[in-house]
Structure 1
Amino acid sequence: MLIDQLGAASAAPANEHSDDALHDAYSAAVMGAVERAGPAVVHIGVKKNGQLAGVGSGLVVASDGLILTNSHVVHGANAIEASMADGQRSAARLVGEDPHSDIAVLRTDAPLAAPSLSFFDTKAIRVGQLAIALGNPLGFEQTVTAGVVSAVGRSMRAYTGRLIDDVIQTDAALNPGNSGGPLVNAKGQVIGINTAVIRGAQGICFSVAANTALLVLTEVLQHGRMRRATLGIEGATTIIPRHVQRFAGLEQAAGVRVMKVTEGGPAEGAEIMSGDLIVALDGEAVLGIDDLLRLLNHERVSRDVKVSLLRKGERRDRFVTPVERR
């Protein structure tokens, strides 16, 4: 009995030390990520009509003052100011934005001394990995929250009503003013741009994937905007009756009904007509307007695409050259 008691007593401190080591490793990972990424986080103040209209956060991606943030933070601003935690301040201007993915690109009038951060390929993100949200909502008081990646590949509506694809869900809390700040992994690599919180829900926050943010950044720097393609139609998501599915050899239950064809547009030139039901684009199923908009990305501008459609129940293919959506 005495031996058992001595054994139990000696085992307790070992477990305590083990827990301490685990906690220390977690703390070290978070602190290390913050040390690497924190100096690149900026506070963004927005004025409209001479009045302070909102605040947010951002991420310096180049020392010449190139910044990524949320479109909804700076949209419609008359004046923008960026402030670093070390006291640097500079006026900033909007280089370009993509409201449909809620990403905006700014450039400051003066260079900002900030470290160069790497972006993590978000295709390799795994559920359960550490996620750290950084922000600078009050200018000189940086905030840090930590959690895990709860889900990947989510979709959410931008404030324009369009779906943002490949969104990261995390339980790292987003504080007021944290919109536009980075979500980083344990190595301090950027995995997303924080964008939204589900009000009334506990631990459900969203970030636009780093890959999407980099795509917008590249398009804005090259073209001044995020390019997207259009067929020159107006359409509506439409259910396909079961007997039509069987007749056409389709497994999908919905498509996009062409409601109107723009005069002189790509669809008219390809003899697509009102009443046609679009079911696929380049072999990828189109189940509704969201699918069609997602597939008509910058890569399909001025490039022939195959549009598969149903006309009077019969399947037909049309080759169309989309133009840039304005």
Structure 2
Amino acid sequence: MPLDVLTQPLDPYSAQVVQAFDRVGPAVVHVMAFGKDGRPASQGSGVIFTPDGYVLTNSHVVANAAGLRASLTDGQDCQAVLVGDDPATDIAVLRLSGTGLPHAELGASAGLRVGQLVVAIGNPLGFTCTVTAGIVSALGRTLRTRSGGLIDSVIQTDAPLNPGNSGGPLVSGAGAVIGINTAMIAPAQGICFAIGIDTAIWVATRLMHDGRVRRSRLGISAQTVQITTRLRRFHRLEQLTGAMISDLAADGAGRQAELEVGDVVVSFDGAVVTGIDDLHRALISERAGTSVSLGVLRRTELLTVPVVPRET
């Protein structure tokens, strides 16, 4: 007589997926965002990460919402309040009104390895608490957000995601949250992305403390341009491109430092700048109020321009 399927031991792969779901699934929530007219505006997923009801989700899930609610897998329905969101990393933190809520363990994304098992839990297309599994396909990806910024150290995975998975947890086989699912490439097969939990924790800590994430800015608009071979050789520049200033804010730090439209930024405090993306990465919050040196090509000259970035 064949063994009852319920008594058969799980293979190691299945056991890890089940373990991940058992540990994190109860802490996954279905997030509903409502417009000013009281109608649903968007939906997504989230994960409770503290015993007192703080939730990690995506900024784009809750952006511009007039009201928020979250429902748990056990049927509980809670009012949610936006603690803060950061479009630059697509992370938001909510606070639920309930008590005695389950919460997931947060892991670390720094030690992930390509090929290791990951499990995505969420509410795709409104189907509550759906589980998909895959592997880490690549690490260290850079993803552009809807606000135009860049998120570094993004996890690429082939664990299938669909609309509604946004904001849900990416979980290791050991049952720790190692990412927040954020995007998929719609026409592609199995190319999905999650924000590393190390980034998410850094952002969440600041949102919970200040309600926002401090960054710095130069008050310039720029675009990536080629540097002529003649100028590169004359000034012994290794990079092929730089960030050309196309506009300056009237009251910005760049104008105060007497930068000019047409200047090409090639370095930031000694670090090579090959384009606008390098400037985005360099302008961290700690730069605000501190003088930095920009290497700037102005026509045929290479200048060093001190500038003090301002807080956003």
Q: What's the TM-score, normalizing by structure 1?
A: 0.87
Partner Cα distance (2:94, 2:103) in 1: 17
The correspondence for 1:127, drawn from 106, 111, 114, is 114
Q: Deviations over 1:203-236 (max 9, x none)?
A: 1111111122112112212221122211122222
Residue 63 of structure 1 aligns with which residue? 51
C-alpha separation in 2, matches of 1:137 and 1:268: 47
Equivalences for residues 40-55 of structure 1 within 5 A: 40-48=27-35, 49-55=37-43
CA contact (8 A) 1:185 1:191 kept: yes
The separation in 1 between residues aligned to 2:97 and 2:55, in whole angstroms, is: 12
Matches within 5 A, 1:75-114: 75-111=63-99, 113-114=101-102
- C-alpha distance in 2 between matches for 1:203 and 1:220: 32
> After the TM superposition, which residues 193-272 of structure 1 pair with which residues of structure 2 at under 5 Å, given as runs?
193-272=180-259
Q: Is contact 2:119-2:133 (8 Å) kept?
A: yes
CA contact (8 A) 2:104 2:177 kept: no
Q: Which has a greater percent of helix?
A: 1
Q: Report the AA paired with residue 84 of structure 1.
A: L
Aligned AA (1:293)? H
Does the 8 Å contact 2:125/2:162 carry over to 1? no
Superposed, 1:264-303 pairs within 5 Å as 264-303=251-290
Q: Does 1:160 align with 2:131?
A: no
- The residue type paired with residue 46 of structure 2 is G
Structure 1 outlier segments of 4+, above 4 Å: 137-140
Q: Structure 1 residues 250, 271: CA separation in 2 closer, same or farther (over 3 Å shift)?
A: same
Tell me, yes or no, if the aligned pair for 1:85 and 1:136 is still in contact at 8 Å. Answer: no
Distance 1:271 1:161 in 2: 26
Q: In 2, distance between residues paired with 1:148 and 1:140?
A: 22
Matched residue, 2:3:
none
**Aligned pair in 2 of structure 1 residues 267, 300: CA closer, same or farther (>3 Å)?**
same
TM-score, normalising length from structure 2? 0.91
Q: Structure 2: which 5+ residue stretches go unaligned?
A: 1-7
Query: What number of residue pairs does the alignment pair up?
Result: 304
Match of 2:129 in 1: 142
TM superposition shift of 1:137: 4.6
* Cα separation, partners in 2 of 1:290 and 1:260, compared to 1, 3 Å: same
> Taking structure 1 as reference, are residues 260 and 176 closer, same or farther at Cα in structure 2, changes over 3 Å only?
closer
Whole-angstrom CA distance in 1 between matches of 2:136 and 2:124: 22
Contact 1:244–1:313 (CA under 8 A) maintained in structure 2: yes
The structure 1 residue matched to 2:292, chosen from 296, 305, 316, is 305
Deviation at 1:289, TM superposition (A): 1.3
Deviation track 1:86-140 (CA, whole Å, cap 9, x = no partner) reads 12221111111111221111112333511341221x2221110111101145778
Secondary structure of residue in 1 paired with 2:173: coil
Percentage of identical aligned residues = 49
Aligned-residue RMSD, C-alpha: 2.0
Give unpaired runs (5+ residues) of structure 1: 1-19
Distance 1:139 1:232, change over 3 A: closer
Which whole-Å CA distance do the structure 1 matches of 2:33 and 2:90 have between them?
A: 16
